[in-house]
Structure formats: structure tokens, C-alpha cells
Structure 1
Amino acid sequence: MGYMKYTQFVYLLFAGFFIYDGITKVNDPNNNPWLSFIIAGMAIFMFFFRRRFLKKMSDHNKKQ
């Protein structure tokens, strides 16, 4: 389970990429940036969800 401490940060990398993608699409009138921003929001949500889940599992393992 040691790798799970680091995999949560992959979601932040995805969020950063999709925020960048959304910003570049805002400047182009032919593209729609909202999907990129929605995916970035979901990635940020998943980062905090995985972080909380890992903390719960860690606390659960300490009690046993």
C-alpha cells in the first residue's frame, strides 16, 4: 500500500493538465473549454477523496 501515497498526486497532475488545456481553449473561439474544466474539477475531487480514504485506511490499520 506504499504506492497509494504517491498515486493520489497523479490526479493533481491530470488536473493541472486539464486546467492548462481549458485555458488554451478559452482563447480560441472555435473550441469549448468547459469539458476540460469539468474533468479538472473531478480530478481535484478525486485527489481529496483518495487522500481521505488513505487516511481512513491508515487509521484502521493502526487500531488493529
Structure 2
Amino acid sequence: MIKFLRYTEYLYLAVAVISVYKIATLWSVNPKETYIFIFFAVVSIGMFLFRRKYRQRFEQRKKNKQQ
């Protein structure tokens, strides 16, 4: 299960990278379309950090139970 949590972290990070790329390419063409990608990038980075902290807590609890 810990591997699954680790993969979901990086999935959020990939969405953030793709969103930043779309922001960079669309900004000069139509800035209004980029607002949704800005939202996705911010939420994805936040979810990445949240999931990472959650996984670390989960690993720590598992480690403490084994001791």
C-alpha cells in the first residue's frame, strides 16, 4: 500500500508539471484559458505535499508498531 501512496504523490506532481507547461504555452495566446491550469497546478502541488506528509506519517506509524 505504501508503494501505491508513493505513486499517487508523483501523479499529482505530473499533473502540476503538465499544467505549468500548458500555462507557459497558452499565456501569450489567450491568458483567460490559463486560469484553470493555474488552479490545477496549485491544487496538484498542494495535494502532492499533503499526500507526501500523509504517507510519511503512515510509514512512521508502521515502523513504530513493528518495534
Common fold, TM-score beyond 0.5? yes
Aligned length: 64
Cα shift at 1:4:
1.7
TM-score for both structures, normalised by structure 2:
0.83
After superposition, the C-alpha distances for 1:3-40 in whole angstroms (9 at most, x for unaligned) are 22222111111001111111212111375211101111
Structure 2: unaligned runs, 5 residues or longer: none
Task: Name whichever structure is richer in helix by fraction.
Answer: 2
Stretches (4+) displaced over 6 A: none
Q: Quote the RMSD (CA, aligned, Å).
A: 1.5
Counterparts of 2:27 and 2:14, CA distance in 1: 20
Q: Which runs of 5+ in 1 are unaligned?
A: none
Identity of aligned residues (%): 25
Partner of 2:46: 45
Larger RCO (CA under 8 A, 6+ residues apart):
2
Counterparts in 2 of 1:61 and 1:27: CA distance versus 1, 3 Å: same
